[in-house]
Structure 1
Amino acid sequence: MCASTLAAVAFLFASQLLIAQGGVESPRAEGGVNSIFNATIDLNTTRGVIKSENDKRSYRYLVLDNQLRVLLISDATTEKSAAALDVNVGANQNPEDRAGLAHFLEHMLFLGTEKYPLAGEYQEFISQHGGSFNAYTAAENTNYFFDIDNDQLDPALDRFAQFFIAPLFSADYVERERNAVNSEYLAKLKDDGRREWDVYRELMNPQHPSAKFSVGNLTTLADRDGRSVRDDMIAFYQQHYSSHLMSLVVLGRDNLDTLEKRVRARFSAIPKRDINISSHYPSLFDKQRLPASVAIKPEKELRQLTFNFPIPNPDQFYEKKPFAYIANLLGHEAEGSLLSLLKRLGWADALYTSIGLQSRKDAVFQLNIQLTPQGVRARDQIVSLVFHCIEQLQQRGMSSWRYSELQQMGDLNFRFQEKSAPIQTVSALAESMRLYTPRDILRGDYIYSVYDERLIKKSLSYLSSDNLLLVLTAPDVEPYRISALYSAPFVVRAGIPELLDLKPAVRKELFLPEKNLFLPKRLTVKPGSLLDENSVADAQPQLILDSKNMQVWYAQDQQFMQPRAAINLRIKSPLVASSAEGAAQAQLFAALISDQLNEYAYPAKLAGIDHDIVANSRGYDISVFGYSSRQGLLMNKIMEVMRTSKFKEERFSLIKESLLRAWRNQNKDLPYQVLAKQIPVLQSAPYWSNAQLIAALENKTSEQFAQFSNRQLIDAKVDALFYGNYFRAEALKLAVLVEHELLGRQTGRDLPPTKLLFLPKGTDKPWLYTHPLEHGDKVVELLIQSPSLSVDDTAHMMLALQLLQPAFYNQLRTEKQFGYVVAAAAAPLLNLENSLLIVQSPNVTEEKIIQEIDLFLDEQYTQLSEGFNANQQSLIKKMREPARSLKEQGERYWSLITTYNNHFSRRLELADAVARITPDSLADFYRVVFMDKNRRLWLTSDALSEHENFFRVNDLLMHKQQMQSIAQP
């Protein structure tokens, strides 16, 4: 049972559904070089770990007697403790006739150990103490991780260590987890990433382990004559799960000596076995079969051209990073770049470089170009353009100053690295321990040690026309083959298009980037003592400008001491908010502005200053984050482009079609994601479905759009936040720029209010919304809505959900085996707290799922008091957790300004409200809110047979006039 996180539903409210248990199979799934594990090192020597001068954590690297490698992290301020263990064994070590066995093993490890035999004990313990857990199986490693309240780290480590000491592998759960793995496989049958990977697998050298199926299904995990899958799994575990092939990271508040004592006590018992994992693989692709061209017909409306160049594993060069140097130049997006020319020709929308298909020995350097329909027709010319750029690098691209820019930004980003969540930190570092020497565990991703022109040229030599698998993905492909596991239609032929000589005029448009003017020059953290007279560095933003059309909030950071700042703007436009037509055109406007800014802003992104411009249902959100010294340059350009907003006809047409295509494709996302995205459409206003947006935009002409662009800022208002490394006067200066550039004529038209639909009371049936989907799985989601916006109702909803989460997962996923996707998750809409129960199943009808969810909710009423105190205290701690980084603090402030009307003490008030909850008050809330079947909104992917048992969605939409306006800035 793979416990990887499913990237979950992208709600309007930007929440994520954490679904514990999932597998990783992707052409970009990272394996790892075996240099650390198979190298000869002194296991009795503790080597110093190099850390940033600004890193306040303490680190200790050590090797236990059983040769388990350990990194300890002491952080007195951490909001959670966490641990991760990475095993240097993955899907590539599966036996020849047991595809998916490593993945299946990972599932089974979660289901009880000799010391803690109950199948759901680990999950329940982690959940009731404010934690989360997960894992993933990749090509060359398996990574297990969790976080938890600080005072529960030691008992959590005890449970975690038993996975690798004495797991039960209970026979009672073998069949269930086989079905779970198969459900995961079936759920992704129409996923284009998996389908593409399936085609790659069929074209690889069949002797290479990456050519094997990694997820597994009922066939590959079936019992065989005289050999059960359980026996094979236990044999695999006993052969491969050895302490010397493992890396452990533990992060907590205790000092290093205490952490070391705990780790030695818990993990020294992991057995060391006599095994080494070979890295002597055959070639990833048969050299005699390259170059070759492949065309794949996707499920979604996708068009892309991917250049795959087999290369040696790049991790062996991590200190010099030659392929990162090459990727930086080929993937550049400024004037003179390949992407710049392709966009001007109308052939491409985007371009990416990456390393994929990585194993212990080799990998693939990938250049992926997102094509327009015209680009598909011009693909042969694009191939010639790509190889001209590669030739340009060979002839003129070797420059020490270009490497120095990468080196400078790597050093800065390491020096000023912000904290990530503890669970992310330990998982990433456990994997880094496989790749880097002990001293470089923390800085391995950032280090550019020395410019090595010879190595760069050698690396570039792999990007040749005779070492290429060229893959076209497009809807109009005419296939003659179908891949075996995911039924992906494709066609393959030998060779690639003949390379053409480019015209001189075209050659002139392709040139290497100039020096980056956005590289930070001033990295001084501005002292609080220089604030305006009589001012102090407050703990929360202050309103420094309050005019008729603009409110500006400001806070100078005095906590994280970073030379960075966060700028957030919300432009509120009555024209955008008034209709689907306005909202659709706003989305197009944001896309066109981003497109027009790209060449100028891309160097800023490379220099650590990122920006985003997105449309929302009432206007636009603009954000800029990064090193503060050059943010003003970017802000000036953004304002200038938004004010002038003149777009070429061809870019208008191409980006409009790209946006329409993206909306159409969203209906082919994973089914549970598609359904969840309907909730804000049904429950809030203004908000529009993709179908409404498509209908509003598809017939718009450039002339009509120009009229919208010219009128949309009439009566517009702006909320702004400047937070970080700015003085008050600097923030005001930038705010005045925004006001001068964007805010103009005012006619007195007000912004339409934001409204939410509270489900009508006193009905005799639950509500049902059906959204048909072309997918074999059945999907049911249940929205349970908080009865009010009050802090007490919000607190009760949050605690009830926390208590339900592990039980819901265990009962419907582990015990009843309804499907791979089972979750109970928070689903807030604006400032209204809600809970969402999700089941996506390949083998159970929607009627049955609804019955079981109803039964589950009824049964839980008598069990709410179990674990009440632990869950209550955990939730209080969560609400009182401080932000871990300047970026996170800025996001919190902005959310409180835009969603909670500048209510900066909301989290603390929520913590106090949770503390006031009693078992009786929670039981009363649960009875009224969760058990009232007539206040439920069900969403399904299939029309149910018993229509009379539900109010249909049309009835619900009729009640939209009962929507309540909410206080929304």
Structure 2
Amino acid sequence: MKYLKSVTLFVLIFQLAACSWLNLGDASEGVLKPVSDQREYRYIELENGLRVMLISDAGADKAAASLDVNVGSRQDPKDYQGLAHFLEHMLFLGTEKYPEAGAYQAYITAHGGSHNAFTSFEHTNYFFDISADSLEPALDQFAQFFVGPLFNAEYVQREVNAVNSEYRARIRDDQRRELAVFKSQLNQEHPFAKFSVGNLDTLHSSEEAALRERLLSFYRKNYSANIMTLTVIGRESLADLEALVRPKFSAVKNRNRHLAAIDAPLFKAGDLPRWINIQPVQNRRSLSVNFPVPDAEQYWHSKPLNYIGNILGHEGDGSLLSVLKARGWAENLSAGQSFDYQGGALFGVDVSLTDAGLKHVDEIVGLIYEGIAQLRDSGIEEWRFEEQAGLAKQEFMFRAQNAPINEVVQLSMALQKYPAQELLRGPYLMDDYRPDVLKEFLAVMTPENSYISLVAPDVSVDAEIARYQVNYGQREVSAEQLSALTKSDTAGLGLPAKNNFVASDFSLKAGGESAPKLLASAPIELWLNIDDVFELPKGRVYLLLESEEAVTDAEQRAKSDLWLRMVKDQLNELAYPAQLAGLDFDVSVGWRGIQISVGGFNQKQGELLAELLAVLKAPEWQQSRFSRLKAQRLRQFENARRQSPYQQVVAELPRMLNRETPGLVEHEAATQAADMAAVAEHVNSVMKNLHLRMLVDGNFDEADAKALAEVVTTALPNAVETRSPAQFVTQLAVGTAVRKIAAEHDDSAVLLYVQSAVKGMQARVAMGLTAQMMSADFYHQLRTEKQLGYVVSASVYPQREVAGMIFLVQSPVLDPAAVQGEINAYIQQWLTTGVDEASFNKHKAGLLLRLAEQPENLWDAAARHWQDLLDDYPKFNSRELLLEALEGLSYSDWLAATQRDFAADKQRALLVYNAGKWPKSIPAGKASGEPAKFKATLPAYRFE
């Protein structure tokens, strides 16, 4: 079961199973937490009704905060749709205490942090993280958003333009388009039917004074302390955190806002069943069957929709997906709650169709109905609930800690839903088996109560939603047709068996080193890191099958890619129960060869790894499977050309710079030419000449590592000692090379990549420091002040020891040559204005703190170790080398490097652009030609 994104809204469906013996760790100030969680918690409620969760983490490198307002697009006035979203934008542009627009963003960036916000149907969430020693000033500025925002009149037009640019930037986004159709079919009295993004028309941009007045009115009515929740993580003690929060947030006004449940049904009586056809922008085929259901929030101890979604979305033998794949009709399937609100919810099953499946949509709908009926009749069993509940408890007890910024967002929203005591455990808790409740929900998941949407290029349509340029049509579903849909062939369809991958050994290994150590060099290069920091019965195994033959050119790369797709598809039924039991795996092709990872509870990783290697070595060469996966891959190439312009220019950059990354056209052609026999021959060739590198990282000891290595060498006995692949990064010449791509979008998009003239750690940290200094100001100047577009960013882009930086703008108002001019003018003005030594030292301190941050969890630590191995840092000290280089970087050295790399006549630049509605606009520079030709004409940095 993959997470459902039906109608673009989703909730996490927790994948769960059994270990009733586990005990909770000590409660911290009444908050129940896992045994592995060493943080301290305190829940307080301020006098104004604002609810707060304080989290003290003495070892934290980052502090973070999130404030959630239980208000969103639901509250938009019908005559000002998008107002909640517009308010979110305006709130960042100055407060009474901190009036300068952009000052908050600049402070956060300078102190190693990040910030953002989002508006959903019933929530608006604001959040940031920052170096742990800078929490108090950041929190003071943050609090003022909710105490004394200015909503300056001078920014009204600019920000409504930004909202409009955001809308336009995603006008060809299929999820937005499908959501627009869904909203058009709803009961128009339901608030979800409104246009939540907003644009120039719905926000009446020509009447600025009236818009600002409505904005102020909305804020005064809805932004009330009693419907706000705040979470703060810091290294300070709980008492000190409380002393920080109380005076800053007690001034938030309590307007005693009361939010009643929504009485209006999603669909009016008689509106269902309904079948809607939608034509997408991308070449994709999907079928969704959704059911309006009661609000499940009151049943959070039972989680009925999780239970139902876990069974219908199962991918093992006998599952809906298994049956559909066996018939060649589906590629993926997901099931679960797709949307919920105060008063109701929507449950859906979403199927990604093959070309053949498109011809059998009626039977597929029927199978979904039959799967639900089967669950209703014989799938409500206590042992199934206990298995899910046990795995949920197991996952909670050994929960990996999130990055602070993700944690605070998750918890501030959870605090709106769960009691403070259950804030952490609530999303996992299933301790109340209620068959009556399950029957209640399944009883409304009937054919007569279903909303069906079919998305495919050639479906019958007769209507349009102009706002998103989406064509759709309604297919009549008579009672006779509905009856026929419930008579599908259900051969092979069954309920999931008991899960045999559930772990039972949660003991922790003793030991631990400061870095991974080499256990063996042959026949496999074996490294071990015994974790003694996170103390979880989990770990990750990385395996590299190093082979130049796997990735020599586009042809070999395409064959390797198709091979691995066959492997993953074949393993899906076996591996899915393992994933539910807390194991995961991945297999991918990279510049060194084939990379495998297995992670999760360490007890049964050997079993999963053995199965994976057996299939990797000798896949079942089924022509039907190969044809389906090849067609899927070719659609991905086609759809890559239909992404948003900014996504396409970003994706083109590595194709232009990395020798081992083929161009899109070249890669697509090689995939098209590959047949199954050629791929099978390729596999045999690759597997004869492999150098094996392996990292065992986490809750493992030497015996475990050697046993896992033996699994590998038994399956792959022909390992060689010689390593061969090398990585090449194109070395740009002075000047600007220009690469044009053709995105089907009116907006222009420009990506300017500037490469350092020299390579090495000092060049990397100098460029990184420049990016940190520029990023917030670049965004403020080109997006907020000049209103070039919604997508505006400046960021560092290193590749190995090759330093680089990218400037990205997608614009609905300027042609690409003009955007290039604005970017270059900004850079040169920034160089002219200069940065004084005090600012340099402030930013340097912030970057030092960021580079010194320790991994957030076991997975981050293992990933760092593995990346160092891949990048040839056998001492696992890449971060230390960067810190050393940055510590030694003087102001004069940095200034010289910046002038060298960014001065107009010295830049080594690559510009990738989309012309949009300005086809005759050509940015300044020399045309690059296709990626392969461009890379062949330039020297390259070589990395072993």
Short-chain TM bin: over 0.9
Equivalent of residue 954 in structure 1, options 904, 929, 934: 929
Cα separation, 1, equivalents of 2:939 and 2:402: 39
What letter matches 1:953 in structure 2? Answer: S
SS in structure 2 opposite 1:122? helix
Cα separation, 2, equivalents of 1:820 and 1:502: 47
Alignment of structure 1 residues 697-846 onto 2, 5 Å? 697-744=671-718, 751-761=724-734, 765-846=735-816
Cα separation, 1, equivalents of 2:382 and 2:579: 21
* Residue 931 (structure 1) aligns with: 903
SS in structure 2 opposite 1:766? strand
What letter matches 1:483 in structure 2? Answer: I
* Residue 465 (structure 1) aligns with: 447
- 1:81 touches 1:148 (CA, 8 Å); kept in 2? yes
Equivalent of residue 835 in structure 2, options 857, 861, 864: 864
> Against the structure 1 CA distance between its residues 211 and 958, is the aligned structure 2 distance closer, same or farther, given a 3 Å change threshold?
closer
What letter matches 1:576 in structure 2? Answer: A
Cα separation, 1, equivalents of 2:71 and 2:676: 55
Cα separation, 2, equivalents of 1:822 and 1:447: 41
How far is the alpha carbon of 1:789 from its aligned partner? Answer: 3.4
Cα separation, 2, equivalents of 1:476 and 1:544: 58
How far is the alpha carbon of 1:315 from its aligned partner? Answer: 2.0
Q: What does the per-residue CA deviation read over 1:679-729, in whole Å, with 9 as the maximum and x for residues that have no partner?
A: 111111111122211101213222222212222222222221101111112
Cα separation, 1, equivalents of 2:87 and 2:779: 19
How far is the alpha carbon of 1:954 from its aligned partner? Answer: 2.8
Cα separation, 1, equivalents of 2:397 and 2:590: 35
Equivalent of residue 498 in structure 1, options 482, 488, 506: 482
SS in structure 2 opposite 1:73? strand
How far is the alpha carbon of 1:54 from its aligned partner? Answer: 2.0
Cα separation, 1, equivalents of 2:267 and 2:416: 25
CA RMSD of aligned residues (A): 2.1
Alignment of structure 1 residues 281-430 onto 2, 5 Å? 281-430=263-412
Alignment of structure 1 residues 455-854 onto 2, 5 Å? 455-495=437-477, 497-500=481-484, 507-528=490-511, 537-547=512-522, 550-744=524-718, 751-761=724-734, 765-854=735-824
Cα separation, 2, equivalents of 1:88 and 1:213: 19
Cα separation, 2, equivalents of 1:358 and 1:139: 9
- 1:29 touches 1:139 (CA, 8 Å); kept in 2? no
Does 2:859 match 1:887?
yes
What letter matches 1:62 in structure 2? Answer: I
- 2:748 touches 2:811 (CA, 8 Å); kept in 1? yes
What letter matches 1:863 in structure 2? Answer: G
How far is the alpha carbon of 1:577 from its aligned partner? Answer: 1.9
Cα separation, 1, equivalents of 2:393 and 2:515: 31
- 1:314 touches 1:363 (CA, 8 Å); kept in 2? yes
How far is the alpha carbon of 1:251 from its aligned partner? Answer: 0.8
* Residue 179 (structure 1) aligns with: 161
What letter matches 2:843 in structure 1? Answer: N
Cα separation, 1, equivalents of 2:60 and 2:219: 34
* Residue 212 (structure 2) aligns with: 230
How far is the alpha carbon of 1:871 from its aligned partner? Answer: 1.1
SS in structure 2 opposite 1:95? coil
More displaced stretch, 782-791 vs 140-149: 782-791
More displaced stretch, 218-227 vs 709-718: 218-227
More displaced stretch, 60-69 vs 667-676: 667-676
Gaps of 5+ in 1: 1-23, 33-45, 529-536
SS in structure 1 opposite 2:199? coil
- 1:31 touches 1:138 (CA, 8 Å); kept in 2? no
How far is the alpha carbon of 1:822 from its aligned partner? Answer: 0.3
How far is the alpha carbon of 1:53 from its aligned partner? Answer: 2.2
Equivalent of residue 889 in structure 2, options 917, 935, 938: 917
> Against the structure 1 CA distance between its residues 346 and 682, is the aligned structure 2 distance closer, same or farther, given a 3 Å change threshold?
same
Cα separation, 1, equivalents of 2:145 and 2:700: 49
> Against the structure 1 CA distance between its residues 910 and 749, is the aligned structure 2 distance closer, same or farther, given a 3 Å change threshold?
closer
> Against the structure 1 CA distance between its residues 909 and 750, is the aligned structure 2 distance closer, same or farther, given a 3 Å change threshold?
closer
Cα separation, 2, equivalents of 1:948 and 1:410: 55
* Residue 110 (structure 1) aligns with: 92
Does 2:431 match 1:449?
yes
Cα separation, 1, equivalents of 2:208 and 2:801: 59
> Against the structure 1 CA distance between its residues 499 and 901, is the aligned structure 2 distance closer, same or farther, given a 3 Å change threshold?
farther
Identical residues among aligned pairs (%):
35
SS in structure 1 opposite 2:482? coil
Does 2:942 match 1:966?
yes
> Against the structure 1 CA distance between its residues 296 and 560, is the aligned structure 2 distance closer, same or farther, given a 3 Å change threshold?
same
More displaced stretch, 113-122 vs 940-949: 940-949
Cα separation, 1, equivalents of 2:594 and 2:298: 45
SS in structure 2 opposite 1:568? strand
TM-score, normalization by structure 2: 0.94
Cα separation, 2, equivalents of 1:608 and 1:234: 48
How far is the alpha carbon of 1:317 from its aligned partner? Answer: 1.4
Cα separation, 2, equivalents of 1:470 and 1:340: 21
- 2:797 touches 2:804 (CA, 8 Å); kept in 1? yes
- 1:846 touches 1:944 (CA, 8 Å); kept in 2? no
> Against the structure 1 CA distance between its residues 940 and 131, is the aligned structure 2 distance closer, same or farther, given a 3 Å change threshold?
same
Cα separation, 2, equivalents of 1:360 and 1:423: 26
Cα separation, 2, equivalents of 1:134 and 1:916: 32
* Residue 98 (structure 1) aligns with: 80
* Residue 906 (structure 1) aligns with: 878
Does 2:243 match 1:267?
no
How far is the alpha carbon of 1:335 from its aligned partner? Answer: 0.6
What letter matches 1:333 in structure 2? Answer: E
Cα separation, 2, equivalents of 1:107 and 1:273: 22
> Against the structure 1 CA distance between its residues 948 and 217, is the aligned structure 2 distance closer, same or farther, given a 3 Å change threshold?
closer
How far is the alpha carbon of 1:947 from its aligned partner? Answer: 6.0
- 1:31 touches 1:360 (CA, 8 Å); kept in 2? no
- 2:310 touches 2:336 (CA, 8 Å); kept in 1? no
> Against the structure 1 CA distance between its residues 403 and 225, is the aligned structure 2 distance closer, same or farther, given a 3 Å change threshold?
same
What number of residue pairs does the alignment pair up? Answer: 918
How far is the alpha carbon of 1:902 from its aligned partner? Answer: 2.4
- 2:541 touches 2:696 (CA, 8 Å); kept in 1? yes
Cα separation, 1, equivalents of 2:194 and 2:624: 44
- 2:750 touches 2:809 (CA, 8 Å); kept in 1? yes
How far is the alpha carbon of 1:831 from its aligned partner? Answer: 4.2
> Against the structure 1 CA distance between its residues 411 and 31, is the aligned structure 2 distance closer, same or farther, given a 3 Å change threshold?
closer
Gaps of 5+ in 2: 14-27
- 1:541 touches 1:554 (CA, 8 Å); kept in 2? yes
* Residue 39 (structure 1) aligns with: none
- 1:84 touches 1:249 (CA, 8 Å); kept in 2? yes
Cα separation, 2, equivalents of 1:966 and 1:649: 39
Q: What does the per-residue CA deviation read over 1:842-865, in whole Å, with 9 as the maximum and x for residues that have no partner?
A: 111111111111111112123323
Q: What does the per-residue CA deviation read over 1:218-263, in whole Å, with 9 as the maximum and x for residues that have no partner?
A: 0011157796111100000001001101001111011111111111
Cα separation, 2, equivalents of 1:646 and 1:155: 60
How far is the alpha carbon of 1:367 from its aligned partner? Answer: 0.5
What letter matches 2:596 in structure 1? Answer: I
What letter matches 2:928 in structure 1? Answer: V
SS in structure 2 opposite 1:634? helix
How far is the alpha carbon of 1:294 from its aligned partner? Answer: 0.7
More displaced stretch, 194-203 vs 952-961: 952-961
> Against the structure 1 CA distance between its residues 264 and 750, is the aligned structure 2 distance closer, same or farther, given a 3 Å change threshold?
closer
Cα separation, 2, equivalents of 1:28 and 1:949: 42
SS in structure 2 opposite 1:787? strand
